[in-house]
Structure 1
Amino acid sequence: MNAVIQTEGLSKEYGGTYRVKDLDLKILPKEVYGFLGPNGAGKSTTMKMLLGLAHPTAGSVHILGMPFTQENRINILKNVGSLIESPSYYGHLTGRENMEVLRRLLDLPQKNIDEAVHIVRMEKQMNKKVKHYSLGMKQRLGIAMALARFPKLLILDEPTNGLDPAGIEEIRELIQELPKKYDMTVMVSSHLLSEIDQMATAIGIINQGKLVFQGKMSDLNQQRQPKLLLCTSNNCRAVNLLKQYGPNLTEKGLLLPYLDNEAIGQAVQSLCENYVQVYRVEEHQRSLEDVFLEFTGKVVTL
């Protein structure tokens, strides 16, 4: 399957420091690709290079099957919509006037504008001047602008920034629908890991400019296998009694790999027969945040 975005060795250096280093991205058609990383990891820099807003120091970029060169740039960008860092707008104009400026610049039919505004649920706000919009309303307008061409590829940098919980849920549902409803591929960055967890079908994690994980959400979920925590009356003795399960002694108790019901029953029975009382058996599954922190070199505790 041809990738919608593919980079090889993509790098960007500023003042002798690499903000992005040897990045090999692969985003397939109709994916919602979640791009995760701590602040300053290189997410926005990467997206700017994909759009020609920053020139790579090294490496190559292919978008929609074409090399992203000066000659191909305009043709490629005709099929790309984007929202990077913050929306661009004329504050003294209304939302409707801003969308009309965009419509004329891109020579779009009016139905595109109406549909984009409807998707972000901004119909009732379009006659207000944008300078009076809340941050969330400005963000919605920016997303509508990015959608107006109904592009094959949509690149969104922190699209839920400034939105309340209800607005975040709406935008998440919108992004999930785009591949199915409009055949779009979406690349979305966010620091809200739980949101990426709920909307992305594939994920890339960047740390200090380097890609530390890339794959399907199902691949990442394999690294989130649940574990069992046993709290007993004598944890040190319990470790010796359950050696065959590979227990790990923590401050909170014994941490065991996930066991089926029969194995759990045998483990508890073994402890009880050796006069070790079992106070609690808890199942713990690592969250996406735990996996993210591990990939980015942070300490994760149970």
Structure 2
Amino acid sequence: MRLLRTVLATVALFGLFGVVFGADDGDADEDQVAVELDGLRGCGAMRSGDGRRDCVRHLQRVLQVRGAPLEPSGNYLDDTTRYVTEFQTGQGLRADGAVDRRTLDALTDLPGDGRGWDLRRDCVSLRGPAGTAPGSAGGCVVTLRDRLAGRGVPAGRGADFDDAATAAVRTFQQRAGLPVVGVAGPQTRLALSLPQPASGAVASGCTPRGCLIVIGRAYTRDAAAVIPEDPFLRGVLADVISGIACAQVRAVPAVAVGCQAVGSYIVDTLAEALKTAATRGACVQVKVGYPAGRDTWSPLSIAPYNGANCRD
């Protein structure tokens, strides 16, 4: 399972303020961010079409800090709404693109004081410059590079989403079976936030006739802890998990086609199996086709397992 790899570590907050706001002095940078945060707090609730251009600029600059490649135009239009919605989704808030009190509090609570950036919760989609649009910059980009490096994908250094970052994201997406677009969107950020199995945590055996996969107890517990409950994120995870499962059964062409089409079933079944197995201290077994040593056909099955092949 090449996709479920992440480094469960925090990243120090650095290189953010100078990159986003272009100042040379660190204290001045922090002061500028504080001005934007205070300004946004003072604006209160906002929604698409809000005519308070200064307030909208505060919002857009705070979204920039969280990686949104936005120009601070002062116009609360589709792009701003989309990034607010994406941020709300990652935070588990009502994803309507409007800034209510809970969204405002979350937006203005920047990681700091030893807390690292969480790509899934603290950041929005990250990308390089496109035409006249700026690229992403700041702590989220630094964290993205670090996560990619932790997967063995060299991603360069710095807080600007440059060509090296784009190439690294494309490489990771190709290895993970995700759409190779060079943008760190919800699928890619979620994939980089899933727990990394230790050596031997996943035992798999695939033949041209079928597959048998056993996910170890420790990794089952870790994975169960990060299965998202939000419907939108479950949909994203469905795409990710279908890629994982199908990567294991591509040796069985007829099964692979059907596997790719049932991502939602896979994620719902896997989520329940992980939670149940974690509660019981068990493993999770995935089988399909005619696994080695089996004479009976099995449809795609994902279930808790506590047999002889279950390991820590």
> TM-score under structure 2 normalisation?
0.28
Q: Which is richer in strand?
A: 1
The structure whose Rg is larger is 1
> TM-score under structure 1 normalisation?
0.29
